[in-house]
Structure 1
């Protein structure tokens, strides 16, 4: 078969099932006859009784399901959030206060129920949005065949794959999935696709004889669970099952890899701790201040509770979840499926992308792009396995393509429902078949006219493959293909002008230089030759000597056309791209140059073997100094080590991949990005984001959306927390001036937080992506969500609102002429005053929502009507406030009163003043920025 590909170096795997005395790796070094003895079996397989005994002893050949919490446990987890715990405690204490107070105060019961309702609402939203089952183990199971063919009692049988045991003799054919780790004892033209384990796209030849000791995955006489036989037939003896297999090793790595907390998770958790601590301290201090003054214990407690509730942003968890869900839907429209809400924001802070090559940057379809025959190059058009394209159809090219197609074991399969053109077998040979079809060669007709009578399979030592065919006139023709230098050494002539010319030293050098030039352009080069022999089964030395060189074929796995622009966008955004692949360094560098990951003359290329010899300090230094870095021939452990090292440096790391070998790194990364169309189930389930179109360009689009989501989160946090100041300050002022009642009750605060503020906050979270979102570098991993600038805006806007609501409250209180001590909750002036406070916050928040839409740009320049959902949400909040003010049932619940037209006019003027003040601040910010730019220009 075609050209081999070196396997990835892998570390030895742990074992849970018994190993042969000399170790699994030793099985690959044994002669075939000794393999049976070492595994306690024979050519006819195990007896049924022995197989049953081993199954009972070693356990089934499957991967255990990952322990997962049930629905109930996942729902209960929603109540462990710090805000939820704080509010649950507040609700419990309020119920206790209601029970101890005589007579019972219905308002206290209403407050307790309202706080409990907030917790239940947030938990329900969080559960509905965040429920995402971990099915990695189930996906790994799906890749293992359910039934396999074995020899038991020397008779062929079909048994469930989970009942396979060490020592079973397995019968395999092309198209079969390998059910366990096995040592080959018979093999006929056998090749396997190890992509699920190694990430390599090429089929790899397999032989039954012993091989030198070395890494197990490199043993050419072994096949592994989760891989596929793509050519030939084989018999193999099982030496490892279940979690003791190489596939099981990846399963254990994936299960053990912790899910990383996103930057937003860390920041929200830190913010929750600070806010909760501040709320508890403020409530406790005011409680301690008021109790000695003679205030009733229960009413003082309710007062302190109001302070605490004012500081806790009850609507923030629900707002954050739903806003992130909006980002998820937007990304889905860009073919990026995000399975965890907080991953949306983490995308926006991505600073490094560790990308796989095959299937991620490339199309995973080898394509012949250039032929060399008769001394001149012949371009080939078209991409992929579809035989659509052209090739210069001269006789030398046609004979070259005919010979290459006949000397192949692959098959080109036409499109079927749901699938396009595809190759069964080696992708390199498939590319030659496609080129032959483009050149007008009917491979099926040629095979019928010139049937194959013998074959010398590909061997990695001689790097050649040859087939013998009987021509129509009864002569026998050998066609050979393989590595150019090896084949050229066996040629004594070259096809020229319809005949043959002797290969001289100069012409030999010309051919070698042509092959080197093609390889230098990143092409994989194969040479094709022929000769006539006297018999149907010539010896290898005769078949592969005295050849006539027909030409060269250069091919590559073409990059996806949209990848280069996506790489440019990532570079502009300050995102570093590191290629991490199991492929050969030269192939990786060629692809990296085509897509723009490598632009300089000397990129840093590091193999897995070199990584093994590096200390942590050496790896850190490598990652720091190497701007263009390619990591090649790496194992799953290498990928995880690199990701951990990058995270240790403070990077936010996204990892792309499509194979089972990528799963541990995908899970360990901050953002695991799997391919949806070509990726394995394991990769898709380990990742938090799946690219439905397998396009690297979707990553760039997702990062832009993630950055936009983060900006929008900051907008609605400013919006939400600024009015908390307006809720808290009047309570503090009333306490220090000796007013016996609260200017705003806890039930009113809950109505603002959940009734009037949530929808505008959601509308802010749905602000469109700004044009400059990819023109700045990623924010640092440790950057605080509540930066100095954000806190300044919160204090500025919240301070204006606090001054306004304090003014309208004490204006109503003082205008009533009633002494402070005579006020009760039923006093009309008090009810009007607290209604003014609540309405003042709601109206000012409407203007505040307009103000926070932009950081520096004027909202009038951005367009007041450009976000109609925000206007509608603000209008709903004001309408709800109107209902609370005028509807008698709601007046009874909230203790409010009807406001006059003049009251509303005052509140609107107050809100407009807030917007004007914020516009003035933005104008001053822009002016200072422009002054700084002019100063730097000088």
Structure 2
């Protein structure tokens, strides 16, 4: 048997006939095994040939590559170039200036610091993600050498005979050779929540997942028992196929990545161009090349926000920590902001919107409906007028093979899990809610025989000893069971089932079905022997009532959907489930509110070309995509992105993985999700709560707002640094009004901490009431640039005026100034101090775009006040302490100087408060006009 035989058997390719088309006996021969299973020696040989039964781990970048990548960012390159120029200038200076060397080392230190912060954040997130537990089960039961053994799942090989029982997880792709009412849950692969029956009979060729005689890795046995022969393991399984599909999908860059890269290119280009231009302008003056290099460097440093990379990384890290408190694990820092720019959410249904736990919500008995509270398998809740439905639920519970067992893990409490069919589990739970002691009922009515459910009869019947006689308990499809009923027991009577009664039952059944409920009818009959003929046990029945159940939405989903809608997000359900089921759940959670949603199946998607799909997605209708495959999901995500949408995809199954990776932001479920989905996603919800999506969008939007706030803060003072240099150049002043080392002191000493404090600003109150921003919107949008010019222009005019006022007041001609002239040292000190003070007030005003500082609260961000105070204190030290004076070439300022600078520093705050007040009044006038 060749190593690719497993894949060939699954897909229908290769030299061997597909195992699904063979009889059970031929399956053993085809896979070179027997009903006694493989021998230990055969198993070892095949394990060496095929390898472990596990999915290949994603190959992450080496640590040194991750660290090295931090130095390839364009901002890092610009700073490295600036440091190199400074080192060169130091080497060419005669005599050499120690301050130039200090500047070069400081710039290089900034690069290292930025790289260390970014690397630490990404490395920590990756290690946390690797710690998530894998989905594939650790052990399984096999027959080897005629003995039933439990072996590690990774040691399964093609030819192994696997024993399957209710509650087992399937560890490899297998061909069923023996089935006893065997049913499996294929939701992790197909997204369909209903259990599907498996048989040992041959089937014709077709898609592997539709083969009714095969079970697949990652799925669960929910009912019955059987045996199956492994034909594919590891990456050769259907689970592995989807894993490879997800691995091949390229990771999309987030909008922030694109915008930061664009911003870095623009800033770097502008810095180099202006520096070169001014170098050329001053070249004819006869200054030395070294002096001109240092001058050009000062201009370049003035334009490059050295603290921006670190500020950006820490701001995103703050968002990561905030989301972690909401049980959301962010694997990539930039994914934080991507959520804030999301415009479309493509969400899975089973396990994402719903709890993947069937729950009875209504019991129709005594001719009237009875509501049932509580969700899932926790027997907490109650049935309205329980006494009236107790007999219906007693009979339904006796006609079940499932069992409720305590949930695994710490903190399980009252929660239960189902061994067996989830529908029967829901019946047992509702019986317990009605006050029935299931153990006592089974003891009082021991089972004597059973006629299992089959797809032809659509019924299941059990016979129980009851007192001196026997009773048949029957449950099944309403139409099939009603046809076998002749009597009815409700409303205090037990008599013939009239035509009027039949009409009432049909109407009630249709009403429950229209709510998206799965409906079962329940009936009984007294018989006179423990093992009556099946026809006798299932005819002449007495109808007791109907039971309606569904896989309930998570309780927090409705509010989360409403919050996303208010935020302008379009929510599209993308599921492998039936259209009626999908629409019912979508209506319950608020994704669908109109009477005519557009429901499109995978089969219809196959008939649509890209143009038709684009037209469909462009319609503003409520859209549901049902019965879709992983390839369909990827195609839909790509189509949305083609339209300029920022797409978030949620899901928990392996079938969701390709779309999760291809999306702008993939959100996987951590508790119930598969390892493939978690690996593909950018974010993992550790508590599986869809409500975390809305919270994450809110935090993501706040991150983007805060980034824009500190961009305005950082770049506005760049004008205050650049304009005095330009003014001095064109005025013919021989020295710079502010040196490169002073600029670096402002950028790193006085600006970084306030910028970090701005990055920690909580979300503004109306952040979820605004529409999502366009993917095409730039960080440096017109309003942002306008505000930078507005605030920076005020600073620039003030510090330029202060500089030349102080120079003119000295009475010294321009050509006589040197670096050691006291008036010059005082003037450049005032420029630096003026920028620091104005930035202190600037930090307060940029905290909001429209709200007054009085509304925001002057003391509501104490970290910002402390950071600004530190910057001012540092400036005082630079002005007054001799060691720092020697480094920065500064001079002490008197109280009058500080008073003038403080007054000028408040001008940006006062001017922006006036601007905000004008904007608020304009908005009020527009709102008043619209109301009229």
Q: TM-score, normalising length from structure 2?
A: 0.93
1:281: how far off?
0.8
1:567: how far off?
2.3
- Residues 18 and 58 in structure 1, CA contact (< 8 A), matched pair in contact too: no
Report what 1:165 is aligned to.
157
Give CA-to-partner distance per residue, 1:432-487, whole Å, 9 cap, x none. Answer: 111212223222222223323333333234332222334442x4433221211122
Distance in 2 separating the partners of 1:879 and 1:575: 46
Give CA-to-partner distance per residue, 1:606-642, whole Å, 9 cap, x none. Answer: 2222222222222212212252111122222222222
> In the superposition, relative to structure 1, how do residues 864 and 139 fare at CA in structure 2: closer, same or farther (>3 Å)?
closer
Are 1:831 and 2:825 matched, yes or no?
A: yes
Report what 1:39 is aligned to.
31
Report what 1:10 is aligned to.
none
Report what 2:79 is aligned to.
87
Range with greater deviation from structure 2 (878-887 or 383-392): 383-392
Of 685, 692, 714, 1:691 maps to 685
- Residues 370 and 377 in structure 1, CA contact (< 8 A), matched pair in contact too: yes
Report what 1:3 is aligned to.
none
Are 1:145 and 2:137 matched, yes or no?
A: yes
Of 406, 411, 427, 1:418 maps to 411
Are 1:444 and 2:439 matched, yes or no?
A: yes
Matches within 5 A, 1:272-311: 272-311=264-303
Distance in 1 separating the partners of 2:273 and 2:294: 15
Of 6, 10, 22, 1:30 maps to 22
Distance in 1 separating the partners of 2:588 and 2:146: 54
> In the superposition, relative to structure 1, how do residues 643 and 889 fare at CA in structure 2: closer, same or farther (>3 Å)?
same
Of 627, 634, 645, 1:640 maps to 634
1:755: how far off?
0.9
Report what 1:454 is aligned to.
449
Range with greater deviation from structure 2 (404-413 or 733-742): 733-742
Distance in 1 separating the partners of 2:797 and 2:5: 70
> In the superposition, relative to structure 1, how do residues 256 and 538 fare at CA in structure 2: closer, same or farther (>3 Å)?
farther
Distance in 2 separating the partners of 1:328 and 1:527: 50
Report what 1:352 is aligned to.
344
> In the superposition, relative to structure 1, how do residues 610 and 540 fare at CA in structure 2: closer, same or farther (>3 Å)?
farther
1:786: how far off?
0.9
Distance in 2 separating the partners of 1:141 and 1:932: 55
Q: Which runs of 5+ in 1 are unaligned?
A: 1-13
Are 1:338 and 2:330 matched, yes or no?
A: yes
- Residues 713 and 846 in structure 2, CA contact (< 8 A), matched pair in contact too: yes
Report what 2:363 is aligned to.
371
Distance in 1 separating the partners of 2:250 and 2:165: 38
Partner secondary structure for residue 899 of structure 1: coil
Report what 2:97 is aligned to.
105
- Residues 136 and 685 in structure 1, CA contact (< 8 A), matched pair in contact too: no
> In the superposition, relative to structure 1, how do residues 886 and 404 fare at CA in structure 2: closer, same or farther (>3 Å)?
same
Distance in 2 separating the partners of 1:748 and 1:206: 76
- RMSD of aligned Cα (Å): 2.7
Range with greater deviation from structure 2 (135-144 or 850-859): 135-144
1:269: how far off?
1.1
> In the superposition, relative to structure 1, how do residues 490 and 31 fare at CA in structure 2: closer, same or farther (>3 Å)?
farther
Report what 1:429 is aligned to.
424
Report what 2:518 is aligned to.
524
Are 1:772 and 2:773 matched, yes or no?
A: no
Q: TM-score, normalising length from structure 1?
A: 0.93
> In the superposition, relative to structure 1, how do residues 18 and 569 fare at CA in structure 2: closer, same or farther (>3 Å)?
closer
- Residues 396 and 498 in structure 1, CA contact (< 8 A), matched pair in contact too: no
Range with greater deviation from structure 2 (153-162 or 695-704): 153-162
Report what 1:545 is aligned to.
539
Distance in 1 separating the partners of 2:579 and 2:769: 32
Distance in 2 separating the partners of 1:151 and 1:335: 42
1:386: how far off?
2.7
> In the superposition, relative to structure 1, how do residues 395 and 66 fare at CA in structure 2: closer, same or farther (>3 Å)?
closer
1:905: how far off?
1.3
Q: Which runs of 5+ in 2 are unaligned?
A: none
Report what 2:119 is aligned to.
127
Report what 2:206 is aligned to.
214
How many residues are aligned here? Answer: 924
- Residues 447 and 465 in structure 2, CA contact (< 8 A), matched pair in contact too: yes
- Residues 15 and 243 in structure 1, CA contact (< 8 A), matched pair in contact too: no
Distance in 2 separating the partners of 1:892 and 1:499: 104
Report what 1:243 is aligned to.
235
Matches within 5 A, 1:607-622: 607-622=601-616
1:165: how far off?
2.2
> In the superposition, relative to structure 1, how do residues 921 and 665 fare at CA in structure 2: closer, same or farther (>3 Å)?
same
- Residues 562 and 697 in structure 1, CA contact (< 8 A), matched pair in contact too: yes
- Residues 192 and 227 in structure 1, CA contact (< 8 A), matched pair in contact too: yes
Are 1:259 and 2:251 matched, yes or no?
A: yes
